[in-house]
Structure 1
Amino acid sequence: MYKKIIPYINCENEIAANIINEAAKYDYSGADAIFLYNYSMDEVSEEEFLCVVKEIVKQVDIPVYVGCYVKRFEDVKKALYTGAAYIVIKYSILKDKKVLEEASKRFGKDKIVVELEDYKDIQKAAFMSELYDSGVYAILLKHVELTGDMVETIFSLQLPVIIRDSLTKNDIASLLEPANVLGVSTNHYKDKDLAKVKFSLKAQDIQVNTFESSMDFREFKLNDAGLIPVVVQDYKTSEVLMVAYMNEEAFQKTLETGKMTYYSRSRQSLWIKGETSGHYQYVKSMLIDCDKDTILAKVLQIGAACHTGSQSCFFTNLYKKEYDDTNPFTVLTDVYNIIKDRKQNPKEGSYTNYLFDKGIDKILKKCGEEATEIIIAAKNPDSEELKYEISDYLYHLMVLMAQCNLDWDDIVKELAHRR
């Protein structure tokens, strides 16, 4: 199991856009997770904070830890309903300790991290057993002084440990060294390249998550110029964005930085995609074909892939035969986007706008009616009627989603968690 670098952001009194941008930068630079916290007891501040967390969860691929004031089980539920992978509960301000057990029963034993401020607590075997039995996943300790006794205590714990530290006094390698330390949470690497940090740690024999090829470049079949073509796809939509070439140096640079780096045949030099335009391509995966002569790279594309400003370099149609390229998810997304647009830009005579104008009660009434119609149609041996009723229901369901500021990404991520 590799050690994790988990940047933290104190979100109290911070502008939402700044938090979102900072979280995205950490994701791009190679963070393993991110810890967002705001322990304000003000309900309005907490609601605003959780809205920001929800937006960040949509934009980043790494797990999100969310730390907030927990008074009752409902607070845990609201925090995890943002899509966050873990909730961090500050034990010193938790009044009802039964919340831990209730939360673990509802969400599982891999969701709750407890932040402890009194290091004497971890030396109490009965107390730590109580946390373990409550379903706590890990504990978070702040500014640990790694004495021999502390290392021994951490090693003996039943629960893994995350150490939160600004790294002004401690060295990250020393903090990660104890076997039971899951990772280090820090703000030390803001606006810095985490990929370089990880390669430095790896050189010190600390197991961290870096890009590492399962095959040596020498095993690839290259063209006469010593290059291999790379087909580049959007990692979510599978849209082909561009084709370029790599030599061994470009391939190694891509692994080291996490940014797609190519060899320019015209300039006879390396080039990092996006270095001048800002339209970087962040690596998600790279595959080699069966003949080992072509790489398929799946990337997160920032901005447009093509120098013309087009999302993809493949936009000139040479020939097209009519065919059905209907994809269930893209159809649902397209219809939802139209519904969302109607909400933002009302159109006279639109039934969708009629529903939005009438409000949530009317939308819920229609959802209920359409659900009933599905039940009735399902009793009919003719499936054609059921097809229409399900379509009607899905439409009204999407109107409800738009009214409540949910989209298909929210639903799909929740289903993925349950998978």
Structure 2
Amino acid sequence: MSYKRLIPCIFINKGKAVKWFDNMEIVSDDVVALAKEYNDHGADELLVFDLSNSDDDHDESIDLMKKINRVIQIPMVAGGNIRRQEDVKKILYAGAKRAMLNFSKPDAGKLMEEVSKRFGKDKIAVSLNDFDALFKQQHTIQNYSSEIIFMHRLDLDSVMNITDIPCVVVTDTLEEPELLKILKCPGVKGLSGRYVSQKGMDFTAYKETCAKEGIRMTSFESKMDFSEFKLNSDGLLPVIVQHYKTSEVLMLAYMNQEAFEQTVKSGRMTYFSRSRQCLWTKGETSGHFQYVKSLTIDCDKDTLLAKVDQVGVACHTGNPTCFFQPVVGSDYDETNPLQVFESVYQTIQDRKIHPKEGSYTNYLFDKGIDKILKKVGEEATEIVIAAKNPNPEEIKYEISDFLYHAMVLMVERGVTWDDIVRELADR
């Protein structure tokens, strides 16, 4: 039996979260805050439906998807108002794990084939609201999508006889016996709809209800029992916590068996406080949660390495990491591209805040955005010219010049390297 997931859905109409497809009652003015609430309360994934009719409203929904992706640590599947390949590209670039195509739309099968070949079938989901569409288009759906979103209560047993593609059921029912029946269906990977999308939904508590019915809800499963680990003299397991993207060491903490099991169960780092002698989930008071990406034990089985997605900062002092006080040497690495970019960026930013007489950077800021843009354009052209020259040294010089001027533009417009890195990672 595979694990099941609880997947709330958000319907966006004119920048607001509304109740349902055919019910435009506003449930939240702040779509991003609603998504973060689902994320922080234990949802496993998020479905986002764009109900817009105009291009302007569609672009606003795409922008909201980008903002949602920046505040959640769970996967997002999104769709709605998809009419061409470019719409799929925008949704995927907004951070969605999959773009969801509505199979009731004309030419949906043809579009699905095109985008599947361009982006990969693992990036494509299909939404269905009737059994006939699945039966008639079985071949297309099977070949060009990796997930089915059922929009109504269907004969799930019959559906599973036609396809083995994992499906999420979006239902308007609030009846618990029917919800449990849906989750028990072998081909169903997740439950969505009105029940799990209620504001204030306690996903952890509902998972426990499901577990009592024999439904496996845990997002993670440990390959080792806690008894296999070697504990220290206090009966605890040291945990080194590392950012999964940057490999930066964030903190050191400790776990007992209960903390370890709670971490695996919830997907959020939970520790044992030696001073308070109790469990504590990182972020429960600050909001700076740590979401598990992987847990690895060392060769002696006496130290755990946790790679996490850190929300906010790791240290109670407000520093990104607890290891911020130099003792010997420096951790600056002039061969680390991001560190170099950050250092130059910070110098440019400091010039803007604290102008220096004779500074070329301050000259650009004083002349304003048009001058900065002119220089960015000139430097881009210089790269093209240098690329025609067989000497690679010229290309290095011109690219460096371009990057400097691009960073001046970034500072002028308030864009950081974190913003750029996140955007590239989403793509």
TM over 0.5: yes
1:97–1:375 Cα change, 3 Å: same
Paired residues of 2:138 and 2:162 also in contact (CA < 8 A): no
What's the secondary structure of 1:296's corresponding residue?
strand
1:372–1:228 Cα change, 3 Å: same
1:272 and 1:162 mapped to 2: Cα distance?
A: 29
1:308–1:128 Cα change, 3 Å: closer
Q: Does 1:22 align with 2:34?
A: yes
My pick for the range that moved more, 61-70 or 189-198, is 189-198
Q: Does 1:6 align with 2:21?
A: no
Counterpart position of 2:424: 411
1:353 and 1:72 mapped to 2: Cα distance?
A: 43
My pick for the range that moved more, 151-160 or 332-341, is 332-341
Match of 2:226 among 217, 220, 235: 217
Paired residues of 1:54 and 1:83 also in contact (CA < 8 A): yes
1:345 and 1:168 mapped to 2: Cα distance?
A: 59
Q: How big is the shift at 1:208?
A: 4.2
AA aligned to 1:178 is C
Paired residues of 2:352 and 2:362 also in contact (CA < 8 A): no
Q: How big is the shift at 1:168?
A: 0.5
Q: Does 1:177 align with 2:199?
A: no
TM-score by length of 2: 0.79
Counterpart position of 1:293: 302
Flag structure 2 segments of 5+ consecutive residues without an equivalent.
18-27
Counterpart position of 1:417: none
AA aligned to 2:158 is E
My pick for the range that moved more, 220-229 or 324-333, is 324-333
Paired residues of 2:94 and 2:426 also in contact (CA < 8 A): no
Paired residues of 1:70 and 1:94 also in contact (CA < 8 A): no
Kindly, what percent of the aligned residue pairs are identical? 40
Q: How big is the shift at 1:361?
A: 6.9
Q: Where does 1:131-210 land on structure 2 (aligned, <5 Å)?
A: 131-132=141-142, 135-146=144-155, 150-157=156-163, 159-169=165-175, 171-189=178-196, 190-202=199-211, 204-210=213-219
Corresponding residue pairs, total: 403
Match of 2:315 among 306, 309, 316: 306
Counterpart position of 2:79: 67
What's the secondary structure of 1:349's corresponding residue?
helix
Q: Does 1:372 align with 2:372?
A: no
Q: How big is the shift at 1:48?
A: 0.7
What's the secondary structure of 2:100's corresponding residue?
strand
1:404 and 1:110 mapped to 2: Cα distance?
A: 35
What's the secondary structure of 1:210's corresponding residue?
coil
Q: How big is the shift at 1:270?
A: 3.0
1:346–1:363 Cα change, 3 Å: farther
Q: Where does 1:328-347 land on structure 2 (aligned, <5 Å)?
A: 328-333=337-342, 335=344
What's the secondary structure of 2:149's corresponding residue?
strand
Q: Does 1:264 align with 2:273?
A: yes
Q: How big is the shift at 1:219?
A: 1.8
Counterpart position of 1:128: 138
Can you list the C-alpha shifts for 1:218-256, whole angstroms capped at 9, x where unaligned?
222222321222223333333333323222222223333
Q: How big is the shift at 1:9?
A: 0.7
